[in-house]
Amino acid sequence: MCERCEAGTPQAGIPAALLVAAQSIERTRPGDLVPAECWTILAGKSGGAIAWAHYQRMLLCLEAAAARSRRTLFCS
């Protein structure tokens, strides 16, 4: 992440609503679901590592959720 996302500022992190939308999108995709603890790690609520395959799947779902809600996922 960039400095802006890691800073303790209001815009830091991924909005909870976007995470919920991404998880909803993920459930419609074929293949195994990402373990719930990976989403918790991505949300910054716990520490740990995320397998690359899980991270890629989550990122695709986050990008789709952001596009649907017309939100920006990445810092500008």
Q: What is the pLDDT of residues 30-74, one digit of tens each?
A: 999 999 999 999 988 889 999 999 999 999 999 999 998 776 555
- For the chain, the structural domain boundaries read 13-69
Ramachandran quadrant class, 56 (left: phi over 0; alpha: psi -120 to 50; beta: rest): alpha
Q: How far apart are CA 4 and CA 17, in angstroms?
A: 20
DSSP label of 49: -
Count CB neighbours of 58 within 10 A: 21
**pLDDT value of position 11:** 47
43 vs 29, higher pLDDT: 29
Give Cβ neighbours of residue 16 (< 8 Å, ≥ 6 apart).
Answer: 43
Q: In 3D, which of 1, 74, 70, 62 has the Cα closest to residue 26?
A: 62
Which pTM was predicted?
Answer: 0.75
